[in-house]
Amino acid sequence: MIHPENNEEYKGLTVNSGVEQPARVNPYLNRDRFRRRQLSVAEMVEGIVKGDITILSQAVTLVESINPDHQAKAQEVIEKCLPYSGSSIRIGISGVPGAGKSTSIDVFGTHVLERTGGKLAVLAIDPSSERTKGSILGDKTRMEKLSVHPKSFIRPSPSAGSLGGVARKTRETIILCEAAGFDKIFVETVGVGQSETACHSMVDFFLLLQVAGTGDELQGIKRGIMEISDGIVINKCDGENVDRCHMAATNFRNALHFFPKPDSGWLPKVLCYSGFYGTGVKEVWDMIYEYIDFVKQNGYFQYRRNEQSKYWMYETINEQLRNNFYNNADIKAMLSNAEKSVLNGEKTSFAAAGDLLDFYFKK
């Protein structure tokens, strides 16, 4: 018997002609009239400071743009917003995919908004979104309640370039959101690479979400992440998982004793909760507020923010120097020869690098 798809008359793979478009209803309509007028820097700043979400979104789009004119305008807007920024609490939320970040952000967010009023912005650092061509973190559809909450602003991760570039844009967006009156900022990130270090460098409290049950959660987690965490929370503490969560919490507490005491003077706490059922959420926020009070009193809060500002200044210098070097046409042309001479043993790596740098700086 012949397979239906091998039958000559089979039309399954033919392409249908598209639907013909109707004529324009009004051929005299000038569509350009409806294009959005570009706001000036002053108008943008005024709109942001008034809390206009549409203008805030436009400014964030400028920050994320790779167009040099947009970037220059974004820098002006940021600079003018700077005096209005700084008065928020910034919380980093990290965890491996599936740990429950979006579920938790949804309940944490609604909890703090109910508890203290104000406004919440949810941002993200997700360098992988460059590869997947679509940001996963900070996606509105993943946060059902917050996405329709009138006091929340959710913005997916910027998706351009290196981790440093993505993170810098998120940091600049924090400034804009604060100027727009957002007094709580969440920065979501995946706890699998370097992005949590970048996230840590822009938040006041770094919360690490863990799940229990695999038995190897302590081995699975990189030492570096535990060291930068101000609090560790074990999610999914519900149903049959409760005992396992408490056991995991004990293990984490024991492990934390082996780390040097953090500069903040605060011993990270380990708590269990369930984002899905909303149990233990208040306790997590009691901990965060306790921490904020503690570090505001001992001066560490401001110290950490100052250190972060310095860090970002140097990071930006490093990034721009690097970009400038690698985008230089002469250097681009010389790099492959330099590589060859290192590989065939004519030059050491250091000498080759030295020659390129000498050339670059003497130009």
By the criterion CB under 6 A, which residues form the site for ligand GDP? 95, 97-103, 142, 235-236, 238, 274-276
Which lies closer to ligand GDP via its Cβ, residue 97 or residue 224? 97
Q: Nearest Cα to 122, choosing from 192, 67, 199?
A: 199
Q: What is the closest distance, in whole angstroms, from the C-beta atom of residue 237 to ligand GDP in the complex?
A: 7
Q: What is the closest distance, in whole angstroms, from the C-beta atom of residue 190 to ligand GDP in the complex?
A: 8
Q: What is the closest distance, in whole angstroms, from the C-beta atom of residue 137 to ligand GDP in the complex?
A: 8
Which lies closer to ligand GDP via its Cβ, residue 164 or residue 278? 278
Q: What is the closest distance, in whole angstroms, from the C-beta atom of residue 243 to ligand GDP in the complex?
A: 14
Which lies closer to ligand GDP via its Cβ, residue 146 or residue 175? 146
Which lies closer to ligand GDP via its Cβ, residue 238 or residue 355? 238
Which lies closer to ligand GDP via its Cβ, residue 90 or residue 142? 142
Q: What is the closest distance, in whole angstroms, from the C-beta atom of residue 218 to ligand GDP in the complex?
A: 19
CB atoms under 10 Å from CB of 161, counted, come to 15
Q: What is the closest distance, in whole angstroms, from the C-beta atom of residue 274 to ligand GDP in the complex?
A: 4
Q: What is the closest distance, in whole angstroms, from the C-beta atom of residue 125 to ligand GDP in the complex?
A: 14
Which lies closer to ligand GDP via its Cβ, residue 27 or residue 98? 98
Which residues touch 232 (CB under 8 Å, ≥6 apart)? 207, 208, 210, 226, 252, 256, 268, 269, 270, 271
Which lies closer to ligand GDP via its Cβ, residue 117 or residue 193? 193
CA–CA distance, 350 with 328 (Å, rounded to integer): 20
Which lies closer to ligand GDP via its Cβ, residue 175 or residue 208? 208
Q: What is the closest distance, in whole angstroms, from the C-beta atom of residue 99 to ligand GDP in the complex?
A: 4
